[in-house]
A and B are shown apart, each in its own frame.
Chain A
Amino acid sequence: MDNSTKQYDAVIVGGGWAGSALAYRLASANKKVLVLEAGIAIDGLVTNPDENQLVTGNRAEFMNDFFMAMAKTPESPYVQNYNAPRPAVLDIQPIPPFTLNNPAQLPAGAPPPATIDCADPKTSIDKGYFIQRGPVPFGSTYERRGGGTSWHWLGTSLRMLPNDFKLKTVYNQAVDWPIGYEDLSDYYDQAEFEIGVSADVDEQQIHGITFSEGYVYPMAKIPATILDNTMDAGLADQTFDGSSLKVTGTPAGRNGVPNQMKNGEFYDNGRRQCQGNTNCTPICPIQAKYDATVTMAKALMTGNVDIIYQAVATNITLDMTTMEVTGVEYKTYETTGGPCTGTFTATGTKYIVAAHAIEAAKLLLMSNTQIPAGVANYSGQVGKNLMDHPMYLGWGLMPKPVYPFRGPLSTSGIEGTRDGAFRSERASFRIEIGNEGWNWPGGAPYNQVIDMVSPMPPDQSGAPTVGIFGTALRQSIQSNFTRQFRIGFLIEQLPDADNCYIVPSKTCFDNLGVPRPEIYYDFDVYTMEGFKAAAAATDFIFNTLGVENNTGVPVGNGGVFEYEGVKYYAQGAGHVMGTHRMGTTRDDSVTDANMKSWDHDNLYIVGCGSMPTTATSNPTLTMTALAFKAADAIIQSFA
């Protein structure tokens, strides 16, 4: 479809989470919107249903690919697209030297570092899309297709804490946000409605979080698992480093039992109730869990939205007199491995980049034909301050069965550890309780059953060994797997412009010839102290509960680093933040609090990249609230 001649009120780059939320909001206010989406379409989510979309995907196909995948990673349901590639967790490998304070030495068994050969984009991308410069590899991934990374989110939808917005003021760390909790409170209500969050207001009033008068979440809290209750029974009265270890239900963007809302109506989003498939990441088979295609479908229903898939934005053009954006150039392709089929320009009155933290920064920095530093980059902060919630995993066997592998992947967590005086010294964290046994750290159930049936010979060779079978095997499975559990610490990271950033590669390109993200990443002492505290908290919790501690080297051990002589294995959380942060001045931030570029009056940049600091809450509920805030500002700017 060639929409290059049509004039729109707004052009949105990215048909993922933030892009769908913005498109829906603007279209509902009667604005004409064009969405450029780099990846392939989802069946039915097209401007004109009769139109023959070049390539599409759908949930049933994704499920089939997931069932057939040997490694059931977050990416396993979704095939790679060489014209809009995305990173994959299996590609995360240590980069020597793997820490700043460690000599050039690879952990035992790690493959030698491959020099990145990108002569052939496809074979090179198969070895990993990111150009990882380290010293620590960036561990998080995302998805580039209609719906974006919402295809593999877990569903956790916690609000940020009031103190999270004021890290500088309260703890003299990093920067404050240009807004406070009270500025987002109403937008949180709206975001929770759009996503469809199940939670209990009383339980969520922690660390100063308040709710508007009479507020109820759209749906009642998701029932706790046997594991959650076991942990709460043992930990409710315990503290670690002054923080309560009480276990509370986690607000989740998955369907539970509808509540009667403030307006008297029962919430109903038309989707099914969670069946406990224990598969929220990488894919919910029945769409009980929210994803952005829900919102994009509503946006398209307004009739005010056109969407072009297989349209990779590559350049934002400027009027050098007014400094306003004049258009977005994009490249098209017919198949996911085929050649570029053309370059077009989309034009509108307002422009919104909602292409995910890393791709958004890359696009702004690539659009540098007129200004060498790139678009929206007077501050020099575009692409800088790359952050995640690096995760520490602890795992073990409970003394009694807790029956994991049942219910949503996570239903509860420990939130008491998210704020406290310690934040002036070390990172805070929240503790997620996993209902999927050792699936994440230990490749369960596969790896442990194989250890029972075909133990690895001491020389690690392929020689046959003698294991157990029959009744003994069945008994072992029952006794081991019913007691497996893991906890995961989402650890705070501070913005670090000098050591954590992304730039478009000058030497490595994807199949369309678009630069790949080159990533520099590290952990500072604040975060590493957070890891140290997480390990200590794991020991404390496991001792208190009488758990057999099996924490060791996780299967995904690429994020290894060493601190004070101890090795830690960081996992990515998928929470990519900071790369186009908002702030109060043009000198040290990319946008204002409405996510409008300081430099270009008609350009907005929206996503988790807008967040100046990470807090410890999974970021996307807050990002959705921010997207609605930006949408209001954009709508008002037309008036």
Chain B
Amino acid sequence: MTLDEFVSLSAALTGYPAATLKPQNDPQQISETLFAELSLASNNIPAAQLDELTQVWNSISATPPPSLPAAVQVKIIENLAITRLAQNIIYLWFFGTWYDLAKNPNSFTSPNIDHVVSPLAYTNGLVWGEMGAHPMGYSVGEYGYWANIPTLPQIN
């Protein structure tokens, strides 16, 4: 998988525009950092799984936007051979976390290789902004901001 393929696939999986995930100028290099997890040997990603996800994505990525989610649903999400890896891409973006592919992410069986990718991957996790908040431990708010109703990001 290439970085571009990763970003376009990520956009389809997260519901965020590719330009939000990988802005023109990203000094924090978030997409690069997250993408690197796919080639990290210690993550034990079966090569066939990554290949299949790449191929499937390339076969549907040109689908016109209105029908793309349905294609992703059928070809990726419902395809048990690759859905777990696709889910991990969602977690990379929403949490900055990699979960051991060999178990359910909500299972704490150990040993496992669950890990936070980096402090920046954590503080850039999308889940926080989605709910109108900020990463726990990382706020740029002004004193008292919490008394006001936040604006949630637009979902298209």
What per-residue 1/0 map shows which CB atoms of B114-156 lie under 8 Å from chain A? Answer: 1110110011000110111110111111111111011011011
* Interface status of B15 (Cβ within 8 A of chain A): yes
Report the Cα distance A463→B103, complex, angstroms: 7
Q: Select the stretch in A64-72, A361-369, A601-609 that faces chain B.
A: A64-72
State whether A474 and B15 are in contact (beta carbons under 8 Å apart), knowing that A407-B146, A466-B78 are contacts in the complex: yes
Q: For A276, what are the chain B residues with a Cβ–Cβ distance below 8 Å?
A: 139, 141, 143-146
Q: For A405, what are the chain B residues with a Cβ–Cβ distance below 8 Å?
A: 128, 131, 133-134, 136
Q: For A463, what are the chain B residues with a Cβ–Cβ distance below 8 Å?
A: 80
- B14 touches which one: A67, A274, A470 (CB < 8 A)? A470
Q: For B144, what are the chain A residues with a Cβ–Cβ distance below 8 Å?
A: 223, 276
A432-455, CB < 8 A from B: 435-436, 439, 445-447, 449-451, 453-454
* Interface status of B90 (Cβ within 8 A of chain A): yes
B137 to A279, Cβ gap below 8 A? Answer: yes
- A439 touches which one: B90, B123, B136, B142 (CB < 8 A)? B136
A453 to B87, Cβ gap below 8 A? Answer: yes
Q: Select the stretch in A143-151, A189-197, A476-484, A582-590 that faces chain B.
A: A476-484
B116 to A69, Cβ gap below 8 A? Answer: yes
Q: Select the stretch in B36-44, B54-62, B104-112 that faces chain A.
A: B104-112
User: A449 to nearest B CB, angstroms?
Assistant: 6
Report the Cα distance A64→B97, complex, angstroms: 15
* Interface status of B83 (Cβ within 8 A of chain A): yes
User: A559 to nearest B CB, angstroms?
Assistant: 18
State whether A70 and B114 are in contact (beta carbons under 8 Å apart), knowing that A406-B134, A435-B146, A477-B131 are contacts in the complex: yes
State whether A447 and B106 are in contact (beta carbons under 8 Å apart), knowing that A225-B146, A275-B143, A283-B137 are contacts in the complex: yes
User: A109 to nearest B CB, angstroms?
Assistant: 11
* Interface status of A253 (Cβ within 8 A of chain B): no
* Interface status of B50 (Cβ within 8 A of chain A): no
* Interface status of B35 (Cβ within 8 A of chain A): no
Report, as a range, how many residues of chain A touch the other chain. Answer: 35 or more
A453 to B137, Cβ gap below 8 A? Answer: no
Q: For B147, what are the chain A residues with a Cβ–Cβ distance below 8 Å?
A: 223-226, 407
B155 to A478, Cβ gap below 8 A? Answer: yes
B149 to A226, Cβ gap below 8 A? Answer: yes
- B15 touches which one: A279, A457, A469 (CB < 8 A)? A469
* Interface status of A242 (Cβ within 8 A of chain B): no
Q: For A453, what are the chain B residues with a Cβ–Cβ distance below 8 Å?
A: 87, 90-91, 105
* Interface status of B13 (Cβ within 8 A of chain A): yes
* Interface status of A211 (Cβ within 8 A of chain B): no
State whether A406 and B122 are in contact (beta carbons under 8 Å apart), knowing that A451-B106, A466-B78, A469-B77 are contacts in the complex: no
State whether A466 and B77 are in contact (beta carbons under 8 Å apart), knowing that A276-B141, A276-B146, A403-B150 are contacts in the complex: yes
What per-residue 1/0 map shows which CB atoms of B91-102 lie under 8 Å from chain A? Answer: 100110100001
A406 to B137, Cβ gap below 8 A? Answer: no
User: B11 to nearest A CB, angstroms?
Assistant: 9
CB within 8 Å: A-B pair count: 184
* Interface status of B45 (Cβ within 8 A of chain A): no
B137 to A277, Cβ gap below 8 A? Answer: yes
Q: For B95, what are the chain A residues with a Cβ–Cβ distance below 8 Å?
A: 445-446, 449
A456 to B107, Cβ gap below 8 A? Answer: yes
User: A542 to nearest B CB, angstroms?
Assistant: 21
A464 to B90, Cβ gap below 8 A? Answer: no
Q: For B138, what are the chain A residues with a Cβ–Cβ distance below 8 Å?
A: 67, 277, 285
Q: For B149, what are the chain A residues with a Cβ–Cβ distance below 8 Å?
A: 226, 401, 403
State whether A467 and B87 are in contact (beta carbons under 8 Å apart), knowing that A226-B149, A279-B136 are contacts in the complex: yes
* Interface status of A460 (Cβ within 8 A of chain B): yes
User: B52 to nearest A CB, angstroms?
Assistant: 13
* Interface status of A104 (Cβ within 8 A of chain B): no
Q: Please, which residue of chain B has its CB at the minimum distance from the CB of A282?
A: B137
B132 to A482, Cβ gap below 8 A? Answer: yes
* Interface status of A340 (Cβ within 8 A of chain B): no
Q: For A472, what are the chain B residues with a Cβ–Cβ distance below 8 Å?
A: 15
* Interface status of A273 (Cβ within 8 A of chain B): yes
Q: For A462, what are the chain B residues with a Cβ–Cβ distance below 8 Å?
A: 102-104, 107
Report the Cα distance A276→B141, complex, angstroms: 7
Q: Which of A64, A274, A450, A469 has the most CB of B within 10 A?
A: A469
B105 to A454, Cβ gap below 8 A? Answer: yes
* Interface status of B12 (Cβ within 8 A of chain A): yes
User: A564 to nearest B CB, angstroms?
Assistant: 31
Q: Please, which residue of chain A has its CB at the minimum distance from the CB of B96?
A: A67
A470 to B145, Cβ gap below 8 A? Answer: no
Report the Cα distance A279→B150, complex, angstroms: 19
A226 to B69, Cβ gap below 8 A? Answer: no
A409-447, CB < 8 A from B: 411, 435-436, 439, 445-447
B131 to A478, Cβ gap below 8 A? Answer: yes
A464 to B132, Cβ gap below 8 A? Answer: no
Report the Cα distance A406→B141, complex, angstroms: 9
Q: Please, which residue of chain B has its CB at the minimum distance from the CB of A272?
A: B143
User: B83 to nearest A CB, angstroms?
Assistant: 5
A436 to B136, Cβ gap below 8 A? Answer: yes
Starting from the known contacts A64-B119, A67-B116, A454-B87, 7 additional A-B residue pairs (CB-CB under 8 Å) come to: A256-B143, A401-B149, A403-B132, A439-B136, A453-B105, A464-B84, A482-B132
Residues of A that sit less than 8 Å from B by CB:
63-64, 66-70, 72, 223-226, 256-257, 273-279, 283, 285, 401, 403-408, 411, 435-436, 439, 445-447, 449-451, 453-454, 456-457, 460-467, 469-475, 477-478, 481-482
10 of the cross-chain contacts (CB-CB < 8 Å) are A225-B147, A226-B149, A405-B134, A411-B146, A454-B84, A464-B87, A467-B77, A469-B77, A478-B130, A478-B131
Residues of B that sit less than 8 Å from A by CB:
12-16, 69, 72-73, 77-78, 80, 83-84, 86-87, 90-91, 94-95, 97, 102-107, 114-116, 118-119, 122-123, 127-128, 130-134, 136-147, 149-150, 152-153, 155-156
For the complex of A and B, 4 pairs with smallest distance between CB atoms: A407-B146, A405-B133, A67-B119, A481-B131
